[in-house]
Amino acid sequence: MTIRQRMQNFYQQFLSLKGDPTSIACGMAMGVFVGITPTIPFHTLMVVVFGFLFKINLTSAYLGSWLVCNPFTIPLLYLGEYQIGRYILGRGESELVIREYSFSALLQLGWDVCAPLLIGGFVLAVLVTVPAYFLSYRFISAVRKNESHEICSADTP
């Protein structure tokens, strides 16, 4: 499946979500937050737990997680998170080489890598989550408003 096909599939799934725009946008934002954190083997579990805990749209949360955390974005996310974390911790520049993006492989790299990665991931997740909510809310509201106008105009003779 090409990137274009994946994005079209994501777009169609997002438009077909049931629920009010607030729940969908909250789910998307929470999914984006989870997806950005470097906790790959736990993303689905975290999405489900947080989804039930905060009563948000689980499908939207899963889509948000997949949107930001996929095989194309993981290397860039991890590198950026690591650099942000090193900067926050006041550590000098360092090269990060990750051969496998699993949780156990990251733990084997040690606390010198995991601490900056987790801190940078959390900071980046917070920074991206807020815009994700507002963009999702505005997008789904606009699409639904447009659909209701199309339905109304189709009903009038």
| pLDDT tens per residue across span 95-147 | 777 777 666 777 777 888 888 989 999 999 999 999 999 999 998 888 878 76
Q: Answer yes or no: is pLDDT of 59 > 80.
A: yes
Question: Could you tell me the pLDDT band of residue 53, with boundaries at 50, 70 and 90?
Answer: very high
Which residues are CB-contacts of 40 (< 8 A; sequence separation ≥ 6)? Answer: 69, 74, 101, 102, 103
When pLDDT is cut at 50, 70 and 90, the band that residue 46 belongs to is very high
Mean pLDDT of 66-74: 86
- 18-40 per-position pLDDT tens digit: 888 898 999 999 999 999 998 88
- Confirm if 65 and 43 have CB atoms less than 8 A apart: yes
For residue 21, is it left (φ>0), alpha (ψ between -120 and 50) or beta? alpha
